[in-house]
Amino acid sequence: MSTSGTEKPTLPRYVEAALPVPLRRVFTYRVPEELRESLKLGARLMLPFGRRNVTGYAVGLHADLPADVEIDESKIKDIIEVTDEEPLITPEILKLTQWTADYYASFWGEMLKASLPAGINKDKVRPKRQKAVRLLSTIPDDIAKPLTEQQQWIVDLLVANGGEMLWTEILERADTGASPINTLAKRGLVEIYVQDIRRDPLAGAELPKRDDFTLTAEQQTALNAITNAGETDAFKAFLLHGVTGSGKTEVYIRAMRHALDTGRSAMMLVPEIALTPVFSRRLRAVFGSEVAILHSNLSTGERYDEWRRIRRGDARIAIGTRSAVFAPLENIGLVVVDEEHDPSYRQHESPFYNARDVAVMRAHLAGAIVVLGSATPAMESFYNAQTGKYTYLRLPERIGGRGLATAELIDMREVFKRFGKDVALSPELLDAIVETHARGEQVIILLNRRGFSQFVLCRTCGETLKCPNCDITLTFHRGAGNLLCHYCNHRERSPKVCPHCTSEYLYFVGEGTENIADQLTKKFPNMRIARVDRDTMAHKGEIEDVLLKFAGGHLDMLVGTQMIAKGHDFPNVTLVGVISVDIGLGLPDLRSAERTFQLITQVAGRSGRGKQAGKVLIQTYYPEHYALRHAKEQDYEGFYKEEIKFRERLAYPPFYVLASILIKHRDLAYASKQANILRRSLDTANQSKQARILGPAPASLSRLKNEFRLQIILKGTTRRNLRETLNIALADAEHQGCDLRTINVEIDPVNLM
């Protein structure tokens, strides 16, 4: 008999365990008599697995061996231990991780492990405990024996400190040593106990003052729609489309407040780097200790403590990055995903998932409201709003009537002609930096470092060389001097002149954007310049320091990548320069136009958030490209209309569902063999021809960590169809001798590179 988490189970004699291994199945174990009482669904278990002992998760309890288990009773092993008496994993998270693993063709056990705070299985984190002393009485029962001077001193100290102090605090102040405290305890005047110490990521932080302003009419309309929907226990999804600075965060905050007031909990997801100190403090100022913060820049201990506060129900609001979507909140009423278009919601290694989509499912399973917010919604989300799957809410204007920054395109082809050589920084941008600095205002320079893949650009006409079949930029392979399409495997020799205009100025783009920060430092020695990217910001707290310094006016210019584009509110920034951001447009990726548009719009939103008007200068080789034209006008709908046509024409999302299958092995011949078996199985599984299959072809990163990488792309008309074709094909391929360990499936890949 199977039991759910709520009804009282008859004592389980067998348990199904999900293990954190890349296998798509659960394992049955026997539960020794003495462990049956303490075993609950969702608990961690210590299990024998092969020759090792591993931590697994109890996902099914059974009084008798399930009928469909085809194993010999005598082969079933006993579990070794039940790790948690009180299960860490709630029934809701069990369900959600199962759905997620299934949806992403991923592994349940790995998903469960990813849902828990890091370090928990290896006992690398534990609660931090400290000895403390509590005053029970000031007068001894035994009046005949008065307190010694030292004992009296300690009693007085405790009284002065509200009756409770840490053991170490007392010892620091008193020069008595421990013995009088112990004596007081023996005499029943104080109690010595062990206290959980909360490692608080914001301990001692200064919190901003809370303005209790009235919402604008648009904000109020959006909030009402959200809170009214929350009155019922039905799932409902909103897309909150509001330009940067339009007051979205304020709407989230009040909606979360409402959820708390109605006795439910709430969650807010933010992109990887956006959870700045400024932002966390703003939420702490509103919600105090009701809010728990979960993100990768916390220490393991802080994360663990914040997670436990949620699990215990002490914190009813969880704010965090990607994996916070699995936070064990109970009775969740509202899920907010800020900057929902952001690619950092995508987990790029196993177990794959997109936290935005898992968030929608979480709300769905819980009968909660989900609000996806963005200034530049993902194509899929806006499409869902257009087709009525999401309810569309709009905040069209910045708070306080501040205009959006004006944007100008600087045509770098023209700059190239003027100088007769490459310059990374146009005179227009350099002049603007000088003027801005002279006014005492701040500058942000945005770079793009995604250009690791080389492609060919004509300096004269600005065209890139594209695949005749795929309308995607060809990738240059220097060794062979070939241009290669990573989608369909089309190859051609690299030409000597531009096929569009016959100019000889072909340029192989894709390297060296970092030195721009150095160039700026040399050009402006009197300016205080800091660089922010993944390389320079290796340590916890470093980004925070730089951002706080910049916000405080102790830096004049910030040079950085995507990281600085989003979320921050720097009122004194009036110039944003965008450099080589259009490198993205040349990458062989279905989302490059979307990413470029989003990035420019987001960073433009950093300019002119204060009283002064802001300016955005965009250096580009593609001034006519629709992504740039619409980004300049900050015209989302205009961009969407053109981009959606492209998606439809090429059978991309949201019209088709994609799976990217990577076949990886150190031996190329071996990888090819597996890829070919799988391709044949896919063709067999796809008799109805509903799905489209491309490849195998070398992946964009064709060799990584000593492994060759081949790619098959699968496009399905519906999710169900895609998953079915894939499942049948994988089973068949295995049957045909395909080595499934070489196969890595990614459903809904964010990019195809």
CA distance readout (Å), 184 to 147, 187, 219: 9, 5, 59
How many of the other CB atoms lie within 10 Å of CB of 243?
22
Q: Are 503 and 461 in contact (CB under 8 A)?
A: yes
Q: CA separation (Å) from 627 to 240, 407, 598?
A: 22, 13, 9
Q: 214 is written with which tokens?
A: 């009235």
Min CB(272)–ligand ADP separation in Å: 17
In the complex, minimum distance from the CB of residue 244 to ligand ADP, in angstroms, rounded to a whole number: 5
Q: Which CB atom, from 461 or from 527, has the smaller least distance to Zn ion?
A: 461
Q: How far is the CB of 270 from ligand ADP (least distance, A)?
A: 11
What distance in Å separates the CA atoms of residue 106 and residue 746, rounded to the nearest whole number?
8
Shortest distance in whole angstroms from residue 149 CB to ligand ADP? 56
Question: 467-478 burial by CB neighbour count: b if 16+ within 10 A, else e?
Answer: beebebbbbbee
Residue closer to ligand ADP by CB (options 313, 400) is 400
CB of 633 to Zn ion, least distance (A): 26
Site of interaction with Zn ion (CB under 5 A): 458, 460-461, 467, 469-470, 485, 487-488, 490, 498, 500-501, 503
Which of Zn ion, ligand ADP, none does 213 bind, CB closer than 5 to 8 A by kind?
ligand ADP
CB under 5 to 8 A by kind: which of Zn ion, ligand ADP, none does 249 bind?
Answer: ligand ADP
> CB of 230: closest distance to ligand ADP in angstroms?
20
Nearer to ligand ADP, 377 or 588 (CB): 377
Write down the least CB distance from residue 651 to Zn ion, Å. 13
> 40 or 609: whose CB is closer to ligand ADP?
609
Residue 28 interacting entry, from Zn ion, ligand ADP, none, C-beta within 5 to 8 Å by type:
none
Selection from Zn ion, ligand ADP, none that 250 binds (CB < 5 to 8 A by kind) is ligand ADP
Q: To the nearest whole angstrom, how small is the minimum distance from the Cβ of residue 55 to Zn ion? A: 45
> Based on CB atoms, which residue is closest to ligand ADP, 351 or 567?
567
Alpha carbons 278 and 563: distance in angstroms, whole number: 15
Residue 487: name its binding partner from ligand ADP, Zn ion, none (Cβ under 5 to 8 Å by kind): Zn ion
Tokens 């029962």 sit at which residue? 141
| 461 contact choice in ligand ADP, Zn ion, none (CB below 5 to 8 Å, kind-dependent) | Zn ion
As a whole number of angstroms, the distance between CA 532 and CA 101 comes to: 35
Closest to ligand ADP by CB, 339 vs 441, is 339
Which of 302/342 has CB closer to ligand ADP? 342
Nearer to ligand ADP, 242 or 320 (CB): 242
Please tell me the distance from the alpha carbon of residue 487 to that of residue 629, in angstroms, as a whole number.
28
Output the CA angle 511-450-606, nearest 5 degrees: 115
Cβ-based burial of 491 (10 A; exposed 0-12, middle 13-18, buried ≥19): middle
Q: Shortest Cβ distance from residue 563 to ligand ADP (Å)?
A: 17
Q: Give the separation between CA 654 and CA 389, rounded to whole angstroms.
A: 13
Return the H-helix or E-strand segment holding 354: strand 353-354
- Nearest distance from C-beta of residue 390 to ligand ADP, angstroms: 18
DSSP, residue by residue, 387-453? TTSSEEEEE-S-GGGPPPPEEEEEEHHHHHHHHTS--SS-HHHHHHHHHHHHTT-EEEEE----TTS
Classify burial at 479, counting beta carbons within 10 Å of its beta carbon; exposed 0-12, middle 13-18, buried 19 or more: exposed
| Shortest distance, position 220 Cβ to ligand ADP, whole Å | 9
CA distances from 420 to 253, 414, 423, 430 (A): 53, 10, 9, 18
Residue 393: count of CB within 10 angstroms of its CB: 24
Alpha-carbon gap, residue 242 to 237, rounded angstroms:
16
Query: What are 488's two structure tokens?
Result: 């369909």
Residue 500 interaction partner, one of Zn ion, ligand ADP, none, beta carbon < 5-8 Å per kind: Zn ion
Choose among 203, 436, 433, 400: nearest CA to 298. Answer: 203
Q: What's the first-to-final CA gap in the chain, in angstroms?
A: 46
- Closest separation in Å from C-beta 246 to ligand ADP: 4
Q: What is the 3-state secondary structure (H, E, C) of 216-234?
A: CHHHHHHHHHHHHHCCCCC
Tell me the closest approach of the beta carbon of residue 599 to ligand ADP, in angstroms: 16
Cis ω on the peptide bond leading into residue 654 (within 30° of 0)?
yes
The residue ranges that bind ligand ADP (CB under 6 A) are: 213, 215-216, 219, 242, 244-250, 399, 569
For helices 149-160 and 179-186, angle between their N-to-C axes, nearest 10 degrees? 80
Min dist CB 560 to ligand ADP, Å, is: 19
Q: Please, which residue, 463 or 569, has the CB nearer to ligand ADP?
A: 569
Query: What is the nearest approach in angstroms of Zn ion to the Cβ of residue 462?
Result: 7
Residue 524: how many other CB atoms lie within 10 Å = 17
Smaller CB separation from ligand ADP, 166 or 215: 215
CA dist., res. 314 & res. 265, Å (int): 11
The conformation of residue 323, written as its DSSP 8-state character, comes to G
Which of Zn ion, ligand ADP, none does residue 242 bind (CB under 5 to 8 Å by kind)? ligand ADP
Nearer to ligand ADP, 134 or 402 (CB): 402
Residue whose entry in the numeric block shows the structure tokens 């944003």: 576
370 binds, among Zn ion, ligand ADP, none (CB under 5 to 8 A by kind): none
Nearer to ligand ADP, 375 or 445 (CB): 375
Q: Which is nearer to ligand ADP, 208 or 495 (CB)?
A: 208
Give whichever of 247 and 277 is closer to ligand ADP, judged by the CB atom.
247
Please report, for residues 231, 269, 565, the alpha-carbon distance to residue 274 in angstroms, rounded to integers and kept in the order given. Answer: 30, 10, 9
With CB cut-offs between 5 and 8 Å by kind, which of Zn ion, ligand ADP, none does residue 569 bind?
ligand ADP
Q: CB 409 → Zn ion: shortest distance, Å? A: 19
Q: Is the CB of 248 or the CB of 466 nearer to ligand ADP?
A: 248
HEC per residue, 434-479: HHHHHCCCEEEEECCCCCCCCEEEECCCCCECECCCCCCECEEECC
Q: Quote the tokens at residue 196.
A: 């959980």
Q: Which does 360 bind (CB under 5 to 8 A by kind): ligand ADP, Zn ion, none?
A: none
If contact means CB under 5 to 8 A according to the sort of partner, which of ligand ADP, Zn ion, none does residue 647 touch? none
The item of ligand ADP, Zn ion, none sharing an interface with residue 166, based on CB under 5 to 8 Å by kind, is none
- Residue 692 binds which entry of ligand ADP, Zn ion, none, CB below 5-8 Å type-dependent: none
For residue 248, the partner it binds in ligand ADP, Zn ion, none, with Cβ less than 5 to 8 A by kind, is ligand ADP
- We find the least distance from the C-beta atom of residue 115 to ligand ADP, in angstroms, to be 28
Nearer to ligand ADP, 248 or 647 (CB): 248
469 binds, among ligand ADP, Zn ion, none (CB under 5 to 8 A by kind): Zn ion
Quote the DSSP letter at residue 625: S
Residue 75 class from Cβ within 10 Å (0-12 exposed, 13-18 middle, 19+ buried)?
exposed
| CB of 90 or CB of 227, closer to ligand ADP | 227
399 binds, among Zn ion, ligand ADP, none (CB under 5 to 8 A by kind): ligand ADP
